[in-house]
């Protein structure tokens, strides 16, 4: 042990390491205390759960109202919606390949209905 204390560099390095270890321990303990203080207590957790339940109920009510309004809009706009087995790409191809005449005119009107319905449903128009 005497030889250890005779070597001044070893004593200084050991002292610095001990100070660093103590500082790291204090830092970790403080962070642990801070994190435990940040956690809400059981009572406040139940209050938060109750508040979130009430918010969820209010949101469901609002969603139901919005859904009803949306369904009413959809009924009026469904005229332009694609029907089963119908695709926009297919209609456009038909329009481009059909010769001028009554059949092409029907496809054109159908495309106009679909595009008008899509435009009415777009977010830019729903804000107005």
Burial 98-115 (b: 16+ CB within 10 A, else e): eeeeeeeeebeebbeebe
pLDDT (0 to 100) of residue 115: 86
Of 109, 120, 106, the closest CA to residue 78 belongs to 120
- Residue 95's CB is within 10 A of a number of other CB atoms, namely 16
Q: Determine the average pLDDT of the residues in 112-116.
A: 87
Q: Cβ distance 111 to 95 under 8 Å?
A: yes
Dist. CA 23–CA 27, nearest whole Å: 6
Dist. CA 39–CA 93, nearest whole Å: 62
Is the predicted pLDDT of residue 1 greater than 70, yes or no?
A: no
Using one digit for the tens of pLDDT, what is the confidence trace for 15-74? 899 999 999 989 888 888 877 776 655 555 556 566 666 666 666 666 666 665 555 555
Is the predicted pLDDT of residue 97 greater than 80, yes or no?
A: yes
> C-alpha angle with apex 37: 34 to 41, nearest 5 degrees?
160
């Amino acid at each position: 042990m005497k030889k250890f204390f005779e070597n001044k560099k070893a004593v200084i390095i050991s002292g610095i390491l001990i100070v660093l270890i103590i500082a790291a321990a204090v830092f970790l303990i403080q962070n642990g205390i801070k994190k435990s203080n940040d956690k809400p207590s059981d009572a406040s957790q139940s209050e938060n759960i109750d508040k979130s339940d009430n918010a969820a109920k209010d949101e469901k009510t609002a969603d139901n109202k919005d859904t009803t309004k949306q369904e009413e809009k959809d009924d009026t706009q469904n005229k332009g919606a694609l029907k089963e087995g119908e695709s926009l790409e297919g209609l456009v191809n038909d329009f481009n390949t059909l010769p001028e005449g009554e059949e092409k005119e029907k496809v054109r009107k159908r495309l106009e209905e679909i595009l008008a319905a899509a435009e009415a449903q777009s977010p830019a128009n729903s804000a107005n």
